[in-house]
Structure 1
Amino acid sequence: MSEATNPVIRRGQAPLLLSLPHVGTAIPEDIEKRLVSPWLARKDADWWIDQLYDFASEMDATIVRAHWSRTVIDLNRDPSGVSLYPGQATTGLCPVETFDGEPLYRPSLEPDADEIEARTDVYYRPYHEALTAEISRLCNINERVVVYDCHSIRSAIPRLFAGKLPVFNLGTNSGASAASDLIKRLSDILAGSGRSHVVDGRFKGGYITRHYGQPETGVYALQMELACRGYIRESLGPVSEANWPVAFDPVFAGPTRLTLRAVLAACLAFARG
């Protein structure tokens, strides 16, 4: 495994791990030359989430951050290809279309089953091997560990959900991946933010939350899906290369960062008992 395929890791000692599987924008040349456009391939990245959560290092959290674009492979999908949201529109392990349904590849150049398997080996496994290793390391020095999966998405995508998404979307796999008292603590913080929020709404948690959240072993997992308007000056409606992504403004993002800091502090307090 070459170093270039590895995720970026910040190792801490606190019982908190942040996973950032969709912040990567790198695309190998052999894949990029088959795409409709590089911009379209990066359109659905979780823009600036690493900057939004940069305070987590002050909490001595471990941070695992993806290098490669989700167009190369989606690190938050089941590697078997099974849909996490049966009956609902979504994208696959190696997406061939955007969230809006636009084709990512030029005709007849989509990845086939052999290529998807090869991408799984080269790009998917290193990220999950890193998560597994870091969770194990943290479990060796902490009685409880919280895995917090960081995501964002445009506020309005009619193909995926009706209307406007709440700003804070907390996913707990319908309560199976985390303890009820932790979920209540976080829900209370979100309610007190003055922003819209939901628990286990449209986004109940992807593969990372569902796979690693095993409360019986002391590992609790959550997904936070943020509507982009909560931290960047997002204009609702269709986006283009001329207006997306919007630049990150730490002042505009400030109120959301305060709420997220409180959320992570509550995760730490829970993990420390």
Structure 2
Amino acid sequence: MWDFREGELFEIWEPAEQRLPFVFNSPHSGRTYPRCFVENSRLDQFAIRRSEDHFVDELFGCGVDLGAPMLTARFPRAYVDVNREPYELDPKMFDGRLPPYANTGSVRVAGGLGTIPRIVAENMEIYRHRLPVDEALSRIEMIYKPYHNALRKLIARTHTRFERAILIDCHSMPGNIRLSGSGIRPDFIIGDRYGTSASGELSRLALRLLEDQGFSVVRNKPYAGGFITEHYGRPARGLHALQIEINRALYIDEATLKKKPEFALIAKMLRRFFEDFTSEATSSACDLSLAAE
């Protein structure tokens, strides 16, 4: 059943010296697909990749050069989604009884996007048949929990050293995303759980700097942040968490999942953004004491 080797689940990219109170996290950029998983899927090897955050680890990896660690998943989101509660599980997917503490009634489970997803993008069913309950619980124990343990340690280390920590949760979104009622296609979405996971000043700073580069940027709609942003963001304790979604149409051909010629330019612009963002966010002029709005 187990197709991952030790050390293959995720990587921690460390700077030569951590100079910033930032931690970068890319939980959905994994592209190592277990053989048994692919064989038991009704999707081909292209379709099953539709829910990946393609190349997000590369685009946001500039944070390491600037002096912050980055945690990157190697397992795919379609296999186990660490941006969910640990036991958001759909009982209709499994043979056997789920533990009583499983959250079987969440909106995400109903939509097929629980901790063990039922679908990838565009409502494409992943599995040919039900899975054993033990399979789901094994993925949670052997992938989900070690991943969050690693993330928790990075955040705690950063908070201890700098007396605050700013988590940047890095994601991508489909190119066909439009704001309801407006038809606007955002280039970026800044998610702070409606002002509860990070200082409002931090969110406004991110919006302003991206807009200054000519990007279309919105806040919290339609993505306000998932479990990671909600769980680790505690502004009153100096723990801030921002989710940043980049539109895939900016940098990949979504029909082929290959990089566009513009990829290098977008990466350069993101680096400039993070240079300015980390500098201003850590300056004495930036007041991160505002816990919520």
TM-score category of the 2 structures, normalised to the smaller one:
0.7 to 0.9
Q: Which residue of 1 aligns with 2:268?
A: 254
Query: What SS class does the counterpart of residue 3 from structure 1 fall into?
Result: coil
Matches within 5 A, 1:37-52: 37-52=44-59
- Give the conservation status (yes or no) of the 8 Å contact 1:90–1:99: no
Q: Which has the larger radius of gyration?
A: 2
The reply to whether residue 8 of structure 1 matches residue 2 of structure 2 is no
- Give the conservation status (yes or no) of the 8 Å contact 1:94–1:111: no
Please give the alpha-carbon distance, in whole angstroms, between the structure 2 residues aligned to 1:161 and 1:44: 22
> In the superposition, relative to structure 1, how do residues 112 and 202 fare at CA in structure 2: closer, same or farther (>3 Å)?
farther
Give, in angstroms, the shift of residue 141 of structure 1.
0.8
Q: Which moved more, 1:92-101 or 1:162-171?
A: 162-171
Q: Which residue of 2 aligns with 1:166?
A: 186
**What is the number of equivalent residue pairs in this alignment?**
263
Give, in angstroms, the shift of residue 257 of structure 1.
4.0
Matches within 5 A, 1:202-241: 202-230=222-250, 232-234=251-253, 239=255
Give, in angstroms, the shift of residue 216 of structure 1.
1.9
Give, in angstroms, the shift of residue 30 of structure 1.
2.0
Q: Which residue of 2 aligns with 1:99?
A: 121
The reply to whether residue 31 of structure 1 matches residue 51 of structure 2 is no
Query: What SS class does the counterpart of residue 25 from structure 2 fall into?
Result: strand
Query: What SS class does the counterpart of residue 4 from structure 1 fall into?
Result: coil
TM-score, normalised with respect to structure 2: 0.79
Query: What SS class does the counterpart of residue 119 from structure 1 fall into?
Result: helix
Matches within 5 A, 1:92-241: 92-106=114-128, 108=129, 110-156=130-176, 163=183, 165-230=185-250, 232-234=251-253, 239=255
Q: Which moved more, 1:176-185 or 1:17-26?
A: 176-185
- Give the conservation status (yes or no) of the 8 Å contact 1:155–1:227: yes
- Which AA in structure 2 matches 1:210? E
Please give the alpha-carbon distance, in whole angstroms, between the structure 1 residues aligned to 2:8 and 2:247: 29
TM-score, normalised with respect to structure 1: 0.85
Q: Give the unaligned 5+ runs of structure 2.
A: 89-102
